Amino acid sequence: MQGIPLLKARAFLLAGLLLASCAYADEPIVVPPPLQVSFVDRASATAQDAIDHAMDLIGIRYRRGGSSPESGFDCSGFVNHVFREGIGLVLPRSSKEMSKSGEAISRDELRPGDLVFFNTMRNAFSHVGIYLGDNQFVHAPRSGGRVRIEDIRDGYWTKRFNGARRVNSD
């Protein structure tokens, strides 16, 4: 006896669902377009956006040839990733090629977001980092290391400083 009312309830529920889906068949289904970053949004992104992204990556391990948080970073892979993801700016892949991008600036003109270059492998511009301000820069240092912040006034970095470039014009 109890099975018949339950069976009727299921039949009414199924009929109601089917009829409800038909009631709106003439209305168009609107699918929003994929979210894209506009040229204006990219142009208004700031060096601080890149720095914020770089700070989120502190502690990621170094990996020669690496260019993602999942695989690890080498110095140029780190800088390239930060600027691409942080502000939509695609830089060359190697530190040597990056050293030709943007505007050359002197050490006393450094602003947060500028690229700083070092001779760490007996080659000019063989290492790159991102200047943070207050004599600090963030970089992916070397095999066995992790993305970290260093003081540009440290003797090691002072002796090896090669120059700086401004690639973001804010």
Q: What pTM value is reported for the model?
A: 0.74
Is 75 considered catalytic here? yes
Is 81 considered catalytic here? no
Does residue 16 lie in a domain region? no
Does residue 135 lie in a domain region? yes
pLDDT digits (tens, 9 = 90+) for 104-130: 999 999 999 999 999 999 899 999 999
* Contact between residue 169 and residue 113 where contact means Cβ atoms under 8 Å apart: no
Catalytic residue among 22, 53, 81, 139: 139
Does residue 5 lie in a domain region? no
Is 22 considered catalytic here? no
- 127: CATH: 3.90.1720.10
Burial of 163 (0-12, 13-18, 19+ CB in 10 A): middle
pLDDT category at 43 given cuts 50, 70, 90 is very low
* Contact between residue 80 and residue 50 where contact means Cβ atoms under 8 Å apart: no
Higher pLDDT, 41 or 84: 84
* Number of domain units in the chain: 1
